[in-house]
Amino acid sequence: MKYDCELVGKVGSMALIDKRRNALSYDTVARISQDLRPGHIWVTSGAVEVGRLDYIQRNGCEIAGDDEDVKTDYSAQGQTVLMNTYRQFIDPKYSVRQILVEHQHFNDPEKRAHLRAMLFRAKAQNAIPIINYNDAVSCEETRNLEIRDLQLKSAHVVQCVDNDETASQIACLMKAETLLIMSSTDGIYTDSKDKNTLVPVIGGKDIDELIKNVEYHQTLCEGASRKGANGAKAKLEYIKEPLKNGTTVIIGSSQFSIRELLDGSVPRTIIKTY
* Residue 183 β-bridge partners: 253
Q: How far apart are CA 118 and CA 49, in angstroms?
A: 28
Strands of 40-44's sheet in order across: 95-101, 127-133, 40-44, 5-11, 176-183, 248-253, 269-273, 201-204
Mean pLDDT of the chain: 91
What per-residue confidence (pLDDT) applies to 209? 98
pLDDT digits (tens, 9 = 90+) for 185-202: 999 999 988 999 999 999
Pairing of the two strands 17-18 and 201-204 = unpaired
pLDDT at 174 over 60: yes
What per-residue confidence (pLDDT) applies to 139? 63
For 168, list phi and psi in degrees, rounded to 5: -65, -40
What per-residue confidence (pLDDT) applies to 192? 86
pLDDT at 2 over 90: no
pLDDT digits (tens, 9 = 90+) for 245-258: 999 999 999 999 99
Within 13 Å, how many C-alpha atoms sit on residue 191's CB side? 5
pLDDT digits (tens, 9 = 90+) for 57-96: 999 999 999 988 999 999 999 999 999 999 999 999 999 9
Total residues belonging to the chain = 274
For residue 108, name the pLDDT band (cuts at 50, 70, 90): confident
What per-residue confidence (pLDDT) applies to 1? 78
Q: How far apart are CA 227 and CA 11, in angstroms?
A: 17
Pairing of the two strands 95-101 and 127-133 = parallel
pLDDT at 154 over 80: no
SS3 category, 269: strand
Q: How far apart are CA 35 and CA 30, in angstroms?
A: 9
pLDDT at 161 over 80: no
Question: DSSP label at 232?
Answer: H
Q: What does the H/E/C string look like for 103-143?
A: CHHHHCHHHHHHHHHHHHHHHHCCEEEEEEECHHHCCHHHH
Q: How far apart are CA 219 and CA 232, in angstroms?
A: 10
pLDDT digits (tens, 9 = 90+) for 33-47: 999 999 999 999 999
For residue 269, name the pLDDT band (cuts at 50, 70, 90): very high
SS3 category, 9: strand
For 146, list phi and psi in degrees, rounded to 5: -65, -40
Fold of the domain built from segment(s) 5-273: Carbamate kinase (3.40.1160)
Distance of CA 272 to the CA centre of its chain: 19
What per-residue confidence (pLDDT) applies to 138? 67
pLDDT: which is higher, 107 or 174: 174
pLDDT at 227 over 60: no
Inter-axis angle of helices 207-218 and 231-238, to 10 degrees? 170
Quick check: 128 and 95 in contact, CB under 8 A? yes
Distance of CA 120 to the CA centre of its chain: 19
Distance of CA 224 to the CA centre of its chain: 15
Domain definitions of the chain by residue range = 5-273
What per-residue confidence (pLDDT) applies to 147? 60
Q: Mean pLDDT across the stretch 10-22?
A: 93
